[in-house]
């Protein structure tokens, strides 16, 4: 069964770029990791982003600009730290199949990068705001 990330209802964005659809396994692999990067002061934003996380996916079209950019930031940070210990431990199931391990990592990384590209198309995306937010918080990758 597939799940979707509905990013925007902005008609100026090509329809295919307003959302992203993948398998439940890839979806959960990515968004459970993204959710873990939210910090306690971002609880309301995290809850807004993940409010509809369920059978179908995640809906971002109604979150405000600040929350959207925090979601983007946490999504990008989670990708930078991927694969994490949990994923590496899971991949140990394939000790004699390095191509299979690499395929899982590369496939999920590709999907993640596609998500970031689509998020960047949204009018709420603001790289300067994100950098200022990170700087104010003293965050480094």
pLDDT digits (tens, 9 = 90+) for 15-64: 788 888 888 878 888 888 899 999 999 999 999 998 766 667 888 988 99
What number is the average pLDDT over the span 123-139?
A: 95
Q: Cα angle vertex 27, ends 99, 114, to 5°?
A: 75
Q: Is the pLDDT of residue 86 over 80?
A: no
Which residues fall within 8 angstroms of residue 26, CB to CB, at 6 or more apart? Answer: 107, 108, 111
Q: Is the pLDDT of residue 69 over 70?
A: yes
Nearest to 107 by CA among 16, 22, 10: 22
Q: What pLDDT is attached to residue 36?
A: 92
Q: Is the pLDDT of residue 115 over 80?
A: yes
């Amino acid at each position: 069964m597939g799940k979707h990330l509905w990013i925007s209802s902005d008609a100026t964005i090509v329809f295919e770029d307003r959302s992203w659809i993948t398998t439940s396994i890839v979806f959960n692999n990515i968004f459970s990791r993204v959710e873990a990067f939210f910090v306690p002061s971002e609880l309301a934003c995290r809850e807004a982003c993940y409010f509809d996380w369920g059978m179908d996916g995640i809906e971002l079209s109604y979150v405000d600009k600040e929350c959207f950019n925090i979601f983007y930031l946490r999504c990008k940070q989670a990708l930078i730290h991927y694969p994490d210990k949990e994923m590496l431990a899971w991949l140990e199931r394939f000790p004699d199949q390095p191509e299979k391990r690499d395929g899982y990592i590369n496939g999920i990384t590709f999907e993640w990068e596609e998500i970031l590209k689509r998020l960047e198309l949204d009018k709420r995306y603001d790289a300067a705001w994100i950098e200022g937010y990170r700087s104010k918080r003293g965050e480094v990758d």
